[in-house]
Structures are given as C-alpha cells and as structure tokens.
A and B are shown apart, each in its own frame.
Chain A
Amino acid sequence: MESGIDWELVRTSLWPIVKYALIGTVPLTLASFAAGLVLAMAVALARLSRVKVLSGLGRAYVSVIRGTPLLVQLFVIFFGLPSIGVRLDPWPSAIIAFSLNVGGYAAEIIRAAILSVPKGQWEAAHMIGMSNRLALRRIILPQAARVSVPPLSNTFISLVKDTSLASLILVTELFRRAQEIAAFSQEFLVLYVEAAVVYWVLCLFLSVGQSALEGRLDRYVAH
C-alpha cells in the first residue's frame, strides 16, 4: 500500500482548484444569493400580504422548496425541463435552482424578521404620515436587517457548500475540478481533502464578513 502524501500533486493541483473556486463557486454563489434574496423579499411580502391568494402562493412556494431536495430541484430544471422544450445551459440552470432554493429559505427568515419589529414602530411610522411602503423601507426593514443577518449568513454559508451539487449538472466549479484531477491522478483522498479545505476557507471569510456586518448593524442597540 502506498503511503505518504504526494505534495507535488497538492502543489500543482491547488491553483486549478482555487481558480475554479474563484471563477466557479464564488460567482455561482454570489449570483444565486443575490437573486435569491430579491425573490425572498418578494415571497416574504406575499406571505405577509392580506390578499389571501398572494399569501397562499407564498406559502405553497416555501413549502415546495423546503419539502424537496435541492439535488432533485437541480435535476428537474436541468434534466427535466428539456422534456417540455425548455433547454437551459448548466450555469443558468444552476443559478435558477439555487436562487429558487435560497428564495424559499430566506423568505421565512425575512418574514420572521419583519414580524419581530414591534407593532409600535409601524404605528409611529404611520403617525408621521408614512405609507406602508415607506414605513417598510425607512423604519421596518432597517430594523429587520439586524435580526436577519445571522440566519441569512447561515443560508449563505450553506449555499457556498451546496453549489458543489452543480458539478452533477456539468458546471465546472471547485468540486468538479477536484473530481477531474482526482480521476486523472487517482489520488482521491488528497484532492477531496484539498477541495474541503478550500470550501472551509471560503466559509471562514464569510464568517468574518458576518461579524463585521453584525457589528455595524448593532451600533444602535444597547450592549
């Protein structure tokens, strides 16, 4: 049995993997999270709406997204939709699947954060003549943001790791690159641990960013 670590392989494979983290995993995560947040805001507001049809649609959406595996959602979009004539490339398929997924989870976080702002804040906003829309933008959302940063960071960090599933629909990102090199070199342990380390470092950066953001948003609360 072979023993010892092939350091030369570690050295030569590190850059290709990091490169595909930077041009694959990172943009995939950022695009999906951004689109997912926009969607989540819309779904959260739909769920909070007094219009029954809207809140019902919102609830159904969240239920489907949370009740089905992300991998299945990804496969439905990439392998399933062509059957009804919708043919999407790997990248758009992945971004759509991930943002739909983030949309479902983050919608619940945003909804809960909005509901966590005391009713008196809405009343004070209305008292000074604000419409619901203005009150939401100026008074409610800034306060909801503070509450929602920790759980949204969780979603974000999960998403970074979940993007590895995109390797299964032919998106070349961090993990797929590691798989390719592993298949070629037959050094599975080295390459997969290397991939794991790169994911971990990415998430480490995010945790630091989260702390900074929380510190910024906490400036107006008692410590």
Chain B
Amino acid sequence: MSRTDSDHTAVGAPLLTVTGLRKAFGDHEVLRSIDLTVRRGQVVALVGPSGSGKTTVLRSLNVLEVPDAGVIQVGSDLTVDFSRPVPKRLLASLRDRSAMVFQHYNLFPHMTVLENVVEGPVQVRRRPRDEALEEAERLLARVGLSDKRDSYPFQLSGGQQQRVGIVRALAMRPQVLLFDEPTSALDPELVGEVLGVIRELSDEGWTMVLVTHELGFAREVADEVVFMDGGVVVEHGPAAKVLGEPQHDRTRLFVRRLQQRF
C-alpha cells in the first residue's frame, strides 16, 4: 500500500523541531546548521551521500551524539538548547522521547529475544515485569516472531534480528521512531520483511525518521524526503517531488547515481 496525497492532510502539528543543529568532530564540521520539522504521524526520510551528516542528525535526536549547538524540541513541553550546557536529566528526557533501530541491530547477545525487549521497560522504566513481558509478546507476535521469544540473537537471521530491534524500540513507547539504515546490513532477500514491518508502522500512524539508501522505499513510505549533503539540507519536500523532480544538481546527481545501481 502506498500513501496517497490525501494522507498528508492527516498528519498533525509539528512533533519534532530541529533548529540550527551543529556538530563538529575535531576540525570536521559534520552538521552546519540543520533545520528539520517532523509532524505527528509523519514519516521523514533523510537521504544523501555517506558523510552528508544524515546519521549524525538521527543520532543527535537520540542523544547518542551531543550536538555543539542548536535546539531540539519534542512536543510542546520539551525544548533542549545545546548552545548552553544541558543538564543530564534533560538529555535523558530528550532520549526518552525517541527510540532507535540500528543498522547493525545491536541486540544484546547474552539475552534472549524476550529479555532484549523487556530490558529497557523493566530495568530503566521500572515497569512491572509481567506487564512488560505481556506487551513484548504482543509486539513480537505482530512482527511474526512469537516462536523466537526464547532464542538468542545468534540463532536468528539478520531480518529476524532487525525485527527484534524494531520491537525493542517499540517497547520503549517512544513518540518518534528512528531508523538508521535499517536494511543496509541485510542480505537482499531479507530486506523485504523488515521494510514490510516499517511500512505497517507508518500505516499505523507512527512518527518516524528514517535514514535510508532505499530510495524506492523512501518514495513509497515517506511523506517528506530531506536530502542532505556536506552537513546541510540541500532540498526537502514531498517524496515524489524531491526524488522525482529534484531541483538541485546535487540531489539530481545523487538520485541518478543510486538508480544506476539497479
């Protein structure tokens, strides 16, 4: 199922607003003032060549990188200004708003699938174990992994591991789901099952930010595509427009290059 234009009217008020985000690693400026708005229920795809800073934007949203400057606002009640020293407590609440699905899954290898999923809810959120287990089982069933609940990650295929990664993120009950190239470590025949789950989540109305090289998928599932290069947003807009009729040379070149792979 692909989103029609009428879906765009369904998305709500801005949920996530990024303003003037900057980050440098040593002398290397990775992000040079990034602005980004994600509305409630919207799926935003960040695309661009490697080194463009798209992953750093995503990681900043989950505070896996601490930006040097800029403001991240989530909802109406949380604003973090990185231009000033940010108290740890505030960083923690910002992190709580989102959950990340990693390129290399990063499941905990010493825990079973079920333990992976309830670890955050039980150890961090202090939710009753029974309740967390119940929810975990329900989420696992939804991605078709009920029979793997007691397996260890090494016993799963990449696609199965990534679906557990998605369930682990969902179990944190985030407001925004973040996907960092969720299919680029997968064998081609396993990509579909993971994209299928992401598609379902978008249909359910989850707010998602997705870093991806799958332009076809971005075009299908994303409401908005943000093309980044050299640490700036070059172009953004509806997926069909940015990927279909790019306005900037750099975007055009990038889209053409990726399409040539197929």
Question: Taking beta carbons and an 8 Å cutoff, which residues of A are in contact with B?
Answer: 118, 120-121, 123-130, 134, 138-139, 142-143, 146, 219-222
Among B120-128, B215-223, B253-261, the stretch that binds chain A is: B120-128
Question: Taking beta carbons and an 8 Å cutoff, which residues of B are in contact with A?
Answer: 62-64, 92, 95-96, 99-100, 102, 104, 106-111, 119-120, 123-125, 152-154, 168-169, 172
A219: nearest chain-B partner, CB-CB: B152
B13 CB to closest chain A CB (Å) equals 26
Q: A146 CA to B100 CA in the complex, in Å?
A: 27
A150 CB to closest chain B CB (Å) equals 17
Interface contact B152-A129, CB-CB below 8 Å: no
Given A120-B102, A123-B64, A221-B154: A130 in contact with B108 (beta carbons within 8 A): no
Give 23 CB contacts A-B under 8 Å. Answer: A120-B102, A120-B104, A120-B106, A121-B106, A121-B108, A123-B64, A124-B107, A124-B168, A127-B64, A127-B95, A127-B102, A128-B119, A129-B95, A129-B96, A129-B124, A130-B120, A138-B119, A143-B109, A219-B152, A220-B111, A220-B153, A220-B154, A221-B109
Interface contact B125-A129, CB-CB below 8 Å: yes
Which 6 residue pairs are nearest across A and B when measured between Cβ atoms?
A128-B120, A124-B106, A120-B106, A129-B124, A222-B154, A220-B152
In terms of DSSP, what is the predominant structure of the interface of chain A?
helix
Interface contact B172-A124, CB-CB below 8 Å: no
B86 CB to closest chain A CB (Å) equals 15
Interfacial chain B residues near A134, Cβ < 8 Å: 123-124
Q: How many A-B residue pairs have CB under 8 A?
A: 61
Given A126-B95, A127-B62, A128-B168: A220 in contact with B110 (beta carbons within 8 A): yes
Interface contact A129-B92, CB-CB below 8 Å: yes
B55 CB to closest chain A CB (Å) equals 12
B74 CB to closest chain A CB (Å) equals 15
B129 CB to closest chain A CB (Å) equals 14
Interfacial chain B residues near A221, Cβ < 8 Å: 109, 154
A45 CB to closest chain B CB (Å) equals 19
Given A123-B102, A220-B152, A221-B154: A129 in contact with B108 (beta carbons within 8 A): no
Interfacial chain A residues near B124, Cβ < 8 Å: 128-130, 134
11 new A-B contacts, CB < 8 A, other than A127-B169, A129-B120, are: A124-B102, A124-B168, A127-B102, A128-B119, A128-B168, A129-B96, A138-B123, A139-B108, A143-B109, A143-B110, A220-B110
Interfacial chain A residues near B109, Cβ < 8 Å: 143, 220-221
Best-surrounded residue of B95, B123, B154 (most CB of chain A within 10 A): B123
Interface contact A126-B108, CB-CB below 8 Å: no
Interface contact B123-A127, CB-CB below 8 Å: no
Q: A223 CA to B102 CA in the complex, in Å?
A: 25
B26 CB to closest chain A CB (Å) equals 17
Interfacial chain A residues near B119, Cβ < 8 Å: 128, 138
